[in-house]
Amino acid sequence: MNRQESIAILAKYGISLTEKQWDENSQQKVVVGMSGGVDSSVTALLVKLYGFETVGIFMKNWEEIDANGVCSAELDYEDVVSVCSKLDIPYYNVNFSEEYKNNVFDTFVSEYKKGYTPNPDILCNREIKFKVFYQNAKELGADFLATGHYCQNINNHLVKAVDQNKDQTYFLYTISQDILGDVLFPLGQLKKPLVREMAKDFNLVTHDKKDSTGICFIGERNFKQFLSQYIASLKGEFRELESGKVLGQHDGMCFYTIGQRKGMGIGGPGGPWFVAQKDLDNNIVYVVEGEDHPALYYDYLLASEESWINDKPELPLRCSAKIRYRQQDQACLVEQTEQGLKVSFEKPQRAIGIRQSIVFYQDDICLGGAIIQNSGPHYYEQGKKLTNT
């Protein structure tokens, strides 16, 4: 596709590009991280239409076959080959399995063994996609790395995607300003239906491929069965928080998250039951009755292991935050303490997960984030009633 054709095609989808911009882009090389999914496929398409010299690279980070004897990575790579051939761009595959195991998966398993529920996608982005993969792209002479994340890079600030339902800034808060300057997010200005439409219009094999879910680079599995391969089952008791009454037996604290309702197998009268607290020392999971039980709500949390994309903002800071992906932004006050950050919320927060991430925003700009270390006393401990949730 020449310059005029590319500009005309982009205009058809509401994307503006000038001839001068296309000419400038044509002098630069972009490596596209390709997963074999529709998002990275359209990312490669867009990068080529923008005029860049485009190279597709597939990362293999997991060696294991699934329960059906199929290696999903091999199937995904076949789709990458098909898409790159269709777009007439060169492609390579790299194997970061060792780095993934040492820097992501081992940490993930270690945290679960301690009874926490970490987010592997955040760690994967920090240690693999924007570290070893970024370095690999630079070694290939790339001016930029492009990924299929739904977010925007505006004036070297990480900004929420136009498609708020798909926004992925929560998972990217550990990216540094230096690296962000070398990264393109072509999907950040598009809605997901348009991405699939473009893939279909260009007859890309991934146009109707299901979006990937599950553990980063490992995919969809029976999570409990998968984790049991790496963590020995340590059975313990489910107890009612208020009375201490034993309600049943759990298969290991690592399989239960704060706020969880399903999968506990607690029978008998009462319920529904929700995980409210974990006693790590005594291997007890405490549950409460009802999703709005005061033991599930908190006014503040403490966090450490801060990561700020640009300069650390002056504290105290009034901003908004998310304590989990897809949560609506929550107004809060961030203060510095000797223990780290104290984050106080205007509204009580439900089911705060220790060792998960809190991510901070100023309007649509992602400022950075931190790891939750303590959730503070819940409302039941304080004897407080819920008045506004």
Residues annotated as catalytic are: 124, 216
Smallest CA-to-CA distance from 40 within 9, 104, 84 is with: 84
Nearest to 359 by CA among 301, 275, 292: 301
**Three-state DSSP class for residue 183:** strand
Residue with tokens 């690279």, as numbered in its chain: 57
∠207-211-217 over CA atoms, to 5°?
120
Residue 114 has a CB neighbour count (10 Å cut-off) of: 13
Q: β-pairing, 91-95 with 53-60? A: parallel
DSSP string, 17-46: --HHHHHHHTTSEEEEEE-SSHHHHHHHHH
Rounded CA separation 198/201 (Å): 5
Strand residues in the chain grouped as ranges (E): 29-34, 53-60, 91-95, 144-146, 151-154, 157-160, 183-184, 236-240, 246-250, 273-279, 284-289, 297-308, 317-322, 330-337, 340-350, 357-362, 365-374
Q: How far is CA 146 from CA 7, 29, 32, 222, 266, in A?
A: 19, 10, 5, 31, 47
How many residues in the chain?
Answer: 389
Burial of 310 (0-12, 13-18, 19+ CB in 10 A): middle
| Contact call for residues 353 and 112 (beta carbons, < 8 A) | no
45: left (phi over 0), alpha (psi -120 to 50) or beta: alpha
**Helix or strand holding residue 3 (H, E):** helix 3-12
Residues whose CB is less than 8 angstroms from the CB of residue 99 and which lie 6 or more positions away in sequence, other chains included:
61, 127, 128, 132
- Are residues 129 and 147 in contact, defined by beta-carbon separation less than 8 angstroms? yes
